Amino acid sequence: MSDSISKSMSKNRSKSTSNNNYSLVVIISGNGNNLQAIIDSIESGNINAKISAVISNRADAYGLERAEKSGIEAKILDHTQFDSREAFDIELQQLIDTYSPDLIVLAGFMRILSDSFVQHYNGKMINIHPSLLPLYKGLHTHQRALTDKQSEHGASVHFVIPELDAGKIIIQGIVDVKEDDDDESLANRVHKIEHHIYPHAVKILAEGHLKYNGGELLYKDKPMEKPLRERLQ
């Protein structure tokens, strides 16, 4: 792996997020708000896990600085240095696998991943999407909810499969849609509930309460027929 393509930003690792052996690799492209929520939950003892690395495809992602502040190894893998999506994904996979993570967390990673990459991490990779799936897959979810005059909106944490935003849903966070909402105000409330449900999803996976079993979810050793739900108060 070329140092010009992937470089570590971590200068020290004296501050540990946890002593637990359950390992996460978090992949980002931007600000890293959901990354911070997970870091905070680990540092408070709510999640018994460790973040082994944070990887970004953008060198200017503020989430890298968040990782540095918590003593987490931060890596840059610049997608613009690759000739194809597949070539980037192969290098990303190789980088992730050096950490042997139990879970890969997509936290604002703004790229569509190739099928072979997703299948390599079948049952080990989760994402958060700003809608109550299966409603509003893809982009512009808040405006679409407003246009359809929905009374509720929210976010969903789900396992990643090759089909976009279609994996098994772990937990959903619900917010009420207000009469005077616009795209920004609704998005702000959805972000708040995201910061609750994403750490909770990581927590129950790290504790072994939630298991991915051949494409089906088991919660406390029983089939999970519906996603967990949390409403913003």
The tens digit of pLDDT for each residue in 137-194 reads 999 999 999 999 999 999 999 999 999 999 999 999 999 999 999 999 999 999 999 9
Report the chain's mean pLDDT, rounded to a whole number: 93
The reply to whether 87 falls in a domain is: yes
**CA 85 to CA 156: how far, in whole Å?**
26
The reply to whether 66 falls in a domain is: yes
Catalytic residue list contains 129: yes
With 0-12 CB in 10 A as exposed, 13-18 as middle and 19+ as buried, what is 107? buried
Query: Hey, which residues does 210 pair with through a beta bridge?
Result: 219
Mean pLDDT on 204-208: 98
The reply to whether 20 falls in a domain is: yes
The reply to whether 136 falls in a domain is: no
Quote the domain boundaries for residue 90: 6-129+155-171+198-231
How many domains are there within the chain? 1
The reply to whether 186 falls in a domain is: no
Mean pLDDT on 99-105: 98
The reply to whether 178 falls in a domain is: no
Which entry of 79, 120, 129, 195 is annotated as an active-site residue?
Answer: 129
Q: Which residues contact 221 (CB under 8 A, 6 or more apart)?
A: 211
What pLDDT shows up at residue 233? Answer: 76
- Residue 123's nearest CA partner among 103, 107, 109 is 103
Count of other CB atoms within 10 angstroms of residue 29 = 19
What pLDDT shows up at residue 5? Answer: 44
Query: Is residue 25 very low, low, confident or very high in pLDDT (cuts 50, 70, 90)?
Result: very high
Query: Is residue 3 very low, low, confident or very high in pLDDT (cuts 50, 70, 90)?
Result: very low
CA 55-159-76 angle, to 5 degrees, is 5
The reply to whether 109 falls in a domain is: yes
The reply to whether 184 falls in a domain is: no
CATH of the domain at 35: 3.40.50.170
Assessment of whether the complete model's pTM goes beyond 0.85 = yes
